[in-house]
Chains A and B, each alone.
Chain A
């Protein structure tokens, strides 16, 4: 899984990587096999930390030389002192979090900038499946049946904007992308993003 070239990084992760300042301290929550952290360490000289619950993935990260802790993100995040990190990244995991607001508040506590990305349930493909077929949607981005999906939070790009507004977070950056999970390519969706984008990526901070 080790990517050697810059362009090998998944497109949504490329967008996140482009937002991160070189030399900063970055924690990846639910970091998987460490694709993003490894890239950032190699090309942006960051000091990385990752949290991941699956042993195989943790081992894959450590074998790449990354500092990663095996554990539940909701529990592991509590131990870090305030402002330990410059960036706290939650990539494609928000839809699986039981208490999203609590987690985002903790993310804001341990880092100054928070990056959240998630699959957009407002995508036209999903809308059409529900509307015309009357079934729980399945897409390349959300390849699960209703009975085995880990995705317990169904949200769209618009939902997240309203959520930020209601709970008082500032959206500093927002990008909607149309990409397939299995390809490196993708493109930024500017026209009707909530309808056409497969993923939403947000950089948020505390309103002060």
Chain B
């Protein structure tokens, strides 16, 4: 996703921001996870933008996708090359207007950007957890976010917004803590992974574990499984684009050459692009985090304990007002999956809006600057903000 991040053309920005940390679940009060394991202490990395109003009624929780982090907007230092990953949406006068709302974004449990995950030190051994890190679920990620809200003294969330795996977290929020969530915007997401989505994740995981440097997850302090992780990222990138997007972006164009090389160097631009994305990714992401987080996303299924099998029962406890958005060329979480979600929400009597945005960029469309998406988010947030007054 980082390839899309750019400085705001109009210079509108939340400015300098700071990554903060909150630690809880200190032993013996560890957090109980859905896998029955216990974990503690847990540190959460988070950032906030805008000002919390007096009655704490202007909170927007932003939930990041698989490889995102807490740095959703602004800059850590003036010399930074790039702002946070959703700077086109979050800022003064933007879709999520920081002049009006107090925005919180935290790194997910199991992440590698400041929140406790497999690369964190296991207090029992003094070594990184590696494969001794317990399995976590989307619901566990939400539990950690709830602890952060408690820490910040926030009891009501005006709206939460997230794409892809961020959307799964917000769906879980609306079911797990229905009284806290006034509204939610699931973007390019699903109630459960399809076999196709699980299949791609599994191939990506196998690429990592097949790398000899993975060493059963014990690679901290030595050579990392960079090859496996970069292949995993390459697979991911294919799923984030689309047939059309790949055709438009690369076609069959060759990279810096006029003819085939007749070897296994990157001949085509698309090969070169994927290799570049893979190589960049290993600099910032931990292979074990990738394994655990993709598994959590695969396990997620809000229809699982639902007798109807369609999510109606799961949503029956929810109270939030929803705006569901899908993108026409998204083949990872196609529109039919958003429609299933909308159907379940309708049947549960929830207040729901749905828009399928025409977009050629595949699943990644939710991250790209889009006036349509910005206006939808802006209008929806204004409406829930006015209703809450």
Query: Which interface class (under 10, 10 to 19, 20 to 34, 35 or more) fits B?
Result: 20 to 34
B34 CB to nearest A CB, Å: 31
Q: Does B339 sit at the interface, judged by CB under 8 A?
A: yes
State whether B323 touches A62 (Cβ < 8 A): yes
In the complex with contacts A59-B376, A62-B379, A65-B386, A70-B356 CB distance below 8 A: yes
State whether A69 touches B375 (Cβ < 8 A): no
Q: Cα distance A20–B354 when bound, in Å?
A: 25
Q: Does A95 sit at the interface, judged by CB under 8 A?
A: no
State whether B379 touches A69 (Cβ < 8 A): no
Q: Does B383 sit at the interface, judged by CB under 8 A?
A: yes
State whether A63 touches B353 (Cβ < 8 A): no
State whether B372 touches A59 (Cβ < 8 A): yes
A-B contacts, CB under 8 A, total: 58
B-chain residues with CB within 8 Å of residue A67 when the two chains form the complex = 321, 351-353
Q: Cα distance A81–B350 when bound, in Å?
A: 12
Contact with B along A24-55 (1 / 0, CB 8 A): 00000000000000000000000101000001
Indicate which residue in A58, A64, A69 contacts B352 across the interface (CB closer than 8 Å). Answer: A69
Q: Cα distance A23–B343 when bound, in Å?
A: 25
State whether B342 touches A63 (Cβ < 8 A): no
Q: Does A137 sit at the interface, judged by CB under 8 A?
A: no
In the complex with contacts A67-B352, A68-B353, A55-B346 CB distance below 8 A: no
A68 CB to nearest B CB, Å: 5
Indicate which residue in B342, B343, B355, B383 contacts A65 across the interface (CB closer than 8 Å). Answer: B383
A55 CB to nearest B CB, Å: 6
Q: Cα distance A32–B175 when bound, in Å?
A: 32
Q: Does B358 sit at the interface, judged by CB under 8 A?
A: yes
State whether B355 touches A58 (Cβ < 8 A): yes
A39 CB to nearest B CB, Å: 16
Q: Does A186 sit at the interface, judged by CB under 8 A?
A: no
Indicate which residue in A47, A55, A65, A76 contacts B356 across the interface (CB closer than 8 Å). Answer: A55
B-chain residues with CB within 8 Å of residue A71 when the two chains form the complex = 339, 354
B-chain residues with CB within 8 Å of residue A99 when the two chains form the complex = none
Q: Cα distance A66–B351 when bound, in Å?
A: 10
Q: Is the interface of A mostly helix, strand, loop or mixed?
A: mixed
A64 CB to nearest B CB, Å: 7
Q: Cα distance A70–B343 when bound, in Å?
A: 12
Q: Does A148 sit at the interface, judged by CB under 8 A?
A: no
Q: Cα distance A62–B323 when bound, in Å?
A: 9
Q: Cα distance A178–B354 when bound, in Å?
A: 35
In the complex with contacts A67-B321, A71-B339, A62-B355 CB distance below 8 A: yes
Q: Does B86 sit at the interface, judged by CB under 8 A?
A: no
B-chain residues with CB within 8 Å of residue A7 when the two chains form the complex = none
Q: Does B27 sit at the interface, judged by CB under 8 A?
A: no
Indicate which residue in B356, B358, B376 contacts A62 across the interface (CB closer than 8 Å). Answer: B376
The residue of chain A having its C-beta at the shortest distance from the C-beta of B346 within the complex is A79
State whether B351 touches A63 (Cβ < 8 A): no
Q: Cα distance A72–B349 when bound, in Å?
A: 19
The residue of chain A having its C-beta at the shortest distance from the C-beta of B371 within the complex is A59
Q: Cα distance A84–B378 when bound, in Å?
A: 28
State whether B356 touches A69 (Cβ < 8 A): no
Q: Does B382 sit at the interface, judged by CB under 8 A?
A: yes
Q: Cα distance A144–B381 when bound, in Å?
A: 39
Shortest beta-carbon contacts, A-B, top 9? A65-B383, A63-B379, A79-B346, A69-B354, A67-B353, A58-B355, A70-B355, A79-B343, A62-B379
Beyond known contacts A59-B372, A62-B355, A80-B347: 4 more, CB 8 A cutoff:
A65-B379, A69-B352, A71-B339, A79-B347
